[in-house]
Structure 1
Amino acid sequence: MSKSLSAGAIDTLRQLNDIGAGQTPPPVEPVVEKELLGAGLVAKSGKGTGVEITCDGRKYLTGDCD
């Protein structure tokens, strides 16, 4: 993915990538959340609060989606 992200967005994406399934995601600053949602790298959490990394987010970080 060629979209350039802010350093804060990349750090947040890495944190979200390290979260295990079923764990509560860390709070994300609204401006960073908007940036990541706009890029399609995260989606709103199924629990209604916070965001979760998407397959595209994993691809952005590692080039692979597992």
Structure 2
Amino acid sequence: MTRSLSADAIDTLRQLNDVGTGQTPPAVEPVVEKELLVAGLVAKAGKGAGVEITCDGRKYLSGDCD
């Protein structure tokens, strides 16, 4: 991906990447959440639990996604 993200968005994406399955994701500021949602790097989590990283989000960080 070539889309530029703010430093806050990149930091948040890294934090979301570190969240294990079944763990509650960290709170994300609305502006950062919107930036990541628009970029397609996160998706709304179930049960109103904020957002979770997508495969595209992992690709943005590492270039790899299983």
Structure 1 residue 49, shift from structure 2 partner? 2.4
Contact kept, 8 Å, 2:24 with 2:49, in 1: the verdict is no
The answer for the alignment partner of 1:23 in structure 2 is: 23
Percent identity over paired residues: 85
| Runs ≥4 residues deviating over 3 A | none
RMSD between aligned residues: 0.6
- What is the identity, as a one-letter code, of the residue corresponding to 1:22? G
TM-score, L = length of structure 1: 0.97
Structure 1: gaps of 5 or more residues: none
Report what 1:49 is aligned to.
Answer: 49
Q: Number of paired residues?
A: 66
